[in-house]
Amino acid sequence: MKASKFTDAQKAFVIKQGEEGMRKIYRDIKDRHGEGKTINVFPVLPVSLAVEAGRVWMPKADLALKLFDHVRDRGFVETFTIGENIPPA
11-34 pLDDT tens trace: 777 777 778 888 999 999 999 999
pLDDT digits (tens, 9 = 90+) for 46-61: 887 888 888 999 998 9
Round to whole Å and give the CA distance between 28 and 80. Answer: 23
Written as one string, the DSSP assignment of 19-84 is HHHHHHHHHHHHHHH-TT-EEEE-S-S-HHHHHHHHHH--TTTSPEEEEEEEETTTEEEEEEEES-
Q: Is the pLDDT of residue 6 over 80?
A: no
Sign of the torsion formed by the C-alpha atoms of 23, 26, 30 and 33: positive
- The pTM assigned to this predicted structure is 0.75
- Average pLDDT over the chain reads 85
pLDDT of 48 reads 78
